Amino acid sequence: MPVALVLMSLPTGCSTTGGQAMATSAAKPSSAPKVFKLTELPNGSCLANDQFLRPDGTVVTVDCARPHMYRTYASTDLPTDMRDGPFPGYQKVYAFTLKFCDAEFAKLHKGPAGKDGRPVEYLIAPMEKVQWRPEEKRVVCATVVTP
């Protein structure tokens, strides 16, 4: 079963082009820690732990050849009908996030998360009203890296 986490003090991410979702299965590992805006975090980014979103909305990535907990694989902005209004509520954001990440995961891993040796899914989205800020109205999908 996927784990839903809130963006406020946790997250990870990937990038989009013109609001279109992007996914990748063969991203090249970065060579050193880098800082990205959450909205610009590339697919295939590696995150050391679940405390990666900084107060300024940036994310620090680590070299994927070094130990890390998460690797991003897809992201997208929340739909316009959700983004442009007040916080739509946990259930609506979670339902969209899970549907999007499950579909992208299935494309890359040919089946459901956490089964038959597939990694566990990690979902990042603004699940609380306090997180309803422009730079966080985004869905980021990642897998949990196991040693």
Sequence-ordered alpha helix ranges (H) in 18-86: 80-83
Band (pLDDT 50/70/90 cuts) for residue 39 is confident
pTM equals 0.74
Handedness of CA 88, 76, 119, 116 (dihedral sign): positive
CB atoms within 10 A of CB 130: 12
Q: If you average pLDDT over every residue of the chain, what do you get?
A: 78
pLDDT in tens, 3-20: 333 332 223 333 222 333
Q: Which two tokens stand for residue 54?
A: 């900084």
Is the distance from CB of 83 to CB of 77 less than 8 angstroms? yes
CB atoms within 10 A of CB 48: 16
